[in-house]
Amino acid sequence: MNANPPDPAELGRRLAARDRTAAPAALNVIEQTGERHAADVAALLAEVAPEKLGGDAPGMIVGVTGPPGAGKSTLLSELVAKWRERGKSVAVLAIDPSSKRSGGSLLGDRARIRVEPGDTDVLIRSTATATRLGGLAPATREAALAMAAAFDVVIVETVGVGQSETDIAELADSVVVIVQPASGDVLQFIKSGVMEIPDLLVVTKSDLGAPATRAARELMGTVKTLGSHTPVLLVSSLPPSTGVDELIDTVESHHASLDLPASRAEARRAAALDAFVHEHGERGLRAVGGRRAAQRLLAEPSPTPGLPRLVELLQDAAGY
């Protein structure tokens, strides 16, 4: 009994109408790779492009990243629960490159994040798909942008290694970097020189007491030294959690202060460039005169500034 596969454009239209029951099937379409599916993906994405929506997708795209074991998944569970209490719909896209060994999607995080049965206003999708350097797969960027049409909050969770941190900064409206107390993680983070990436810094496991307070102080010191104003927050995700409401308030006020059109334009350009490189490789990139030239091309105004059109522009330039 195989029902007809859902029409991709119809799925896109349902997302645009904020019908969240279309989201799982839409994600299935977006996650398909290869030439054969490209038209389906493009048809779906065209329906949630800004020119169809009459502006940027309204959902907040929040990146949550941090080293392995920092407490990301546990914190996400609290964040989802509290955002739901506030009446917000939430989609979580969790990327775990380490699970590649087992292949396919994983159930671990889905099991850990508490979801009321039958609650279609929460969607948890775990995927093992990541690039070799730990960066975001093109489908993840597209999925996040598409989900932002239908959900109030879209959280993209990555393990903060390699390329993933810069990728998440391009994609997300707000980036939350989480660090756990002690174990050299804080020092490691400060030394890594990616201080410009977080919009918010969170020290988890504040229930551990002094080490957590010390870690937060160290981070605040570094932020101040750099002349930055990135907020540093302390949270405990163990019940009863503390600091999570403040975290949500801080994310929401950061989002409210953003130049959303600029941020989303950057995210779409990055997604388009990424899709192009994915499809045509470094050779394709050389054909348009290199990465910088490609970025310049993408920044040029286009009559239909949707994702597929941007890719088209690049392809034209490359003589494909």
Q: Which does 68 bind (CB under 5 to 8 A by kind): ligand GTP, Mg ion, none?
A: ligand GTP
Question: Quick check: bond before 181 cis, omega within 30?
Answer: no
205 sits near ligand GTP (criterion: CB under 6 A):
yes
Q: Does the footprint of ligand GTP cover residue 72 (CB under 6 A)?
A: yes
Closest contact distance (angstroms) between CB of 312 and ligand GTP is 37
Site for ligand GTP contains 73 (CB under 6 A): yes
Give CA–CA dist 286/58, Å, rounded.
Answer: 36
Site for ligand GTP, residues 147 to 176, rule: CB under 6 A? 159
**Segment near ligand GTP (CB under 6 A); pick from 36-44, 163-171, 202-210, 275-283:** 202-210
- Can residue 250 be called a binding residue for Mg ion (CB under 5 A)? no
Report the C-alpha gap between 81 and 83 in whole angstroms. Answer: 6
In the complex, minimum distance from the CB of residue 113 to Mg ion, in angstroms, rounded to a whole number = 10
Angle at 208 between CA 203 and CA 213, to 5 degrees: 50
End-to-end CA distance of the chain: 41
- Interface with ligand GTP: number of residues (CB under 6 A): 16
CB-wise, 37 or 214, nearer to ligand GTP?
214
Residue 234 CB partners (closer than 8 Å, separation 6+) = 202, 203, 206, 212, 213, 216, 242, 243
Nearest to 27 by CA among 154, 134, 210: 154
Residues 89, 131, 222, 236: which binds ligand GTP (CB under 6 A)? 236
Contacted by 88, from ligand GTP, Mg ion, none: CB < 5 to 8 Å by type: none
Among 9, 238, 293, 317, binds ligand GTP (CB under 6 A): 238
Of residues 60-99, which lie at the interface with Mg ion (CB under 5 A)? 72-73
Contact 80, 122 (CB under 8 A): yes
Q: Which stretch binds ligand GTP (CB under 6 A): 186-194, 203-211, 217-225, 226-234?
A: 203-211
Separate counts of helices (H) and strands (E) for the chain? 14, 7
Q: What single-letter amino acid sits at 38?
A: A
Q: Which is nearer to Mg ion, 159 or 190 (CB)?
A: 159
- Rule CB under 6 A: which of 239-298 touch ligand GTP? none
For residue 52, give the 3-state DSSP assignment: helix
The residue within the footprint of ligand GTP, chosen from 60, 64, 74, 124 (CB under 6 A), is 74
- Rounded to whole angstroms, the Cα distance separating 243 from 220 reads 16
Q: Where along the sequence are the contacts to Mg ion (CB under 5 A)?
A: 72-73
